[in-house]
Amino acid sequence: MISIKTKEEIEIIKEGGKILAKIMRELEKMAKPGITTKELDGAAEALILKHGAKPSFKGYKGFPSSLCTSVNEEIVHVIPSDRVLEEGDIVSLDLGALYKGFHTDMAITVGIGKISKKARELIKTTRETLDFVIKKIKPGINTNEVGGLIEKFIEKKGFGVVRELCGHGIGKNIHEDPQIPNYRDSRQGAILKEGMIICLEPMVTIGDWHIKKAKDNYGFQTKDNSLAAHFEHTIAVTKDGSEVLTLHPSESDF
């Protein structure tokens, strides 16, 4: 069942989203050659608790950490470890926070030091895809239409679109209906309505779109071991369009 949030609930989620965006900004600054993904996870959890929130992911379906850290060919949900980030790597940082009873969810992909031109193009395209589709969100649009817009934008740039993972609704639970595919699904989708809170999260690959379990047997990576990137925002569907709820206070809009 898809829930419609009240104005008061959306304000709480927006407040939590600003906190999450601040934390993500700090983690982005820390993501440098020589740091371990476990150190990033420790910093993320400490910052979440410092701001009076709780980690959304820790304990969710057995996930042991607060932050997902997916490196290079890894796409999402990889468990932080003693892996040291090296010059040329790219890492997806995916973080959720529970604040005053409501979750927010956000992801970015960061280049570590100097990265390849193709990796820069991948990150840029993934971010641009999210920016593009946010502007298309409005009441009355079908989730499959949203997926088709994402797919077309990415493939036009010459990259692959991960199909087996998707965006989702969010609120009192970290994952709620509706599911929002990153491609045009043939199954019946849901119609977006004012007051829905959703997470849009394009996942893009340099190579093929097929995936497999990552080495930690929890996360996912590309089947062909090509690089992958991931960006995500928590979005409110408004009367005339949408509002990003996980913006850093210094950012006014996309």
Low-confidence ranges of the chain (pLDDT < 50): 252-254
pLDDT at 186: 77
| CATH 3.90.230.10 matches 7-244 | yes
Query: In whole angstroms, what is the distance from residue 70 CA to residue 117 CA?
Result: 20
CA distances from 194 to 3, 12, 140 (A): 11, 17, 9
> pLDDT digits over 68-100, tens only?
999 999 999 999 999 999 999 999 999 999 999
* pLDDT of 249: 61
Is the CB of residue 228 less than 8 Å from the CB of residue 73? yes
Tokens of 229: 């990137």
- Cα angle 206, 185, 201; round to 5: 50
Check residue 250 and give its pLDDT.
55
The per-residue pLDDT for range 114-150, each reduced to its tens digit, is 999 999 999 999 999 999 999 999 999 999 999 999 9
Pure H helices in the chain:
7-30, 37-50, 117-136, 143-156
- Tokens, residue 39: 């150190």
CB 106 within 8 A of CB 95: yes
Which pLDDT score, from 0 to 100, does residue 175 have?
97
Question: Cα separations (Å) of 156 from 146, 203, 253?
Answer: 16, 15, 25
* pLDDT, the chain, mean: 96
Q: What is the pLDDT of residue 88?
A: 98
Q: Where are the domains of the chain?
A: 7-244
pLDDT of 91: 98
Residue 139 φ then ψ, to 5°: -60, 140
- pTM of the predicted model over 0.85: yes
